[in-house]
Amino acid sequence: MQFTINRNLFLENLNNAMRAISSRASIPILSGIKLSLSEQELTLTGSDTNISIQIEIPVNDDLHIQSTGAIVLPARFFSEIIKKLPGKDFSFEVKESFQTKITSENTEFMINGLDANNYPHLPEISTSSSFNVSGKTFRNIINETVFAVASQESRPTLNGVNFVFRNNSIKAVATDSHRLSQREIDLENGPQADATLIIPGTSLVELSRIIGETDPEIIVTPGDNQVLFNVGNLAFYTRLLEGSYPDTDRLIPTESMTKVEFDLSTLARSLERASLLTHESRNNVVKMSLDVDNQTVKLEGDSPEIGNVEEEVAFKSLQGDNLEISFNPDYLRDALRASITDTIVMNFTQPLRPFTVTPGREDVNFIQLITPVRTY
């Protein structure tokens, strides 16, 4: 196996493949990166059993192939070598006993590899149910929901985002039982058959980073226990979470007793100030007081060790009944960061019932739910 390649091109693809490699690999060979070379392309593969990434680099002016083959190299060490090579291009050659020579200008590394035949095979997923979706759209949906997935393992399905793909829409919902984020958008030319997939939050975070700020076309291929996302020359496999996702629709209130609309940036800054002290308290609770009679909204936070803060918050409209409610300010902060409009509407029913955060525009189907905190 022997080839010469542009270092920057190789490093860009190597960095993406490395996203699937864990430093605590359950199978020793998975701490390595697999390189497979055919006469048409160089393929990089990384996997940690939960996520697998395969990248194909076709033969072109930046890649010249002398002989084909395959090898597995220690991923972290190999990556550091490529980053520090001095030249524009480097040469790669596998010799006897899987020893690999890497040469660039006057620098030569010799590292030990492993037999690629021992590397686990990637899952085979039928492409009969594939469909396309905009990369920008899918990345936005991830960022608007994934922060609300659970981090504990007690209810595994809550560690993922529940996606429902229909021919004309995508609906995604995440909850950790204390908060919920649900986003639904219209879709053109979606799957011919409905597909429901619970995708691990950790996988979605990596996929979002791979998509980046561009808007590539993504091909989604659902399988029995895996889903494949093709993004350009990159194939991203992730396992699916098994089980039934809870019926979250029944949790969302259909009416409210108190409604307030804020400028998003105004509320966010006030919340940051109020939570400066609450973060020093074990409880980390902010109280919001809505006085409809006097048309005022106040935020209060305190820490027994440091002191307290009280601030009257400007708002755009306030109607309904007077209400005092306490909540974790970090949950509302995350909800505001995920919001996509300049204004947000908060709807309340009772002091101990979950409240909703929705966009200030009716044409955006995005609802977030936060459970209040009992303070007595």
- Count of structural domains within the chain: 3
310-354 pLDDT tens trace = 999 999 999 999 999 999 999 999 999 999 999 999 999 999 999
Same domain, residue pair 48 and 101: yes
pLDDT, residue 39, reads 95
- What is the span of the domain harbouring residue 90? 2-118
Same domain, 88 and 156: no
Of 118, 147, 165, the residue at which a domain comes to its end is 118
Per-residue model confidence (pLDDT) at position 91:
97
Boundary residue ending a domain (90, 118, 146): 118
Structure tokens given for 224: 């029995």
CA angle, 177 then 183 then 184, to 5° = 135
Identify the CATH number of the domain in which residue 267 sits: 3.70.10.10
Residues of the chain with pLDDT under 50: none
Supply the CATH number for residue 180's domain: 3.10.150.10
- Identify whether residues 238 and 340 lie together within a single domain: no
What local confidence, expressed as pLDDT, does residue 376 receive? 62
Domain membership of residue 83 (yes or no) is: yes
Is residue 105 included in any domain, yes or no?
yes
What pLDDT shows up at residue 277?
80
**CA 193, CA 125: separation in Å to the nearest integer?**
16
**Domain annotation covers residue 127:** no
User: Can you give the pTM of this predicted structure?
Assistant: 0.91
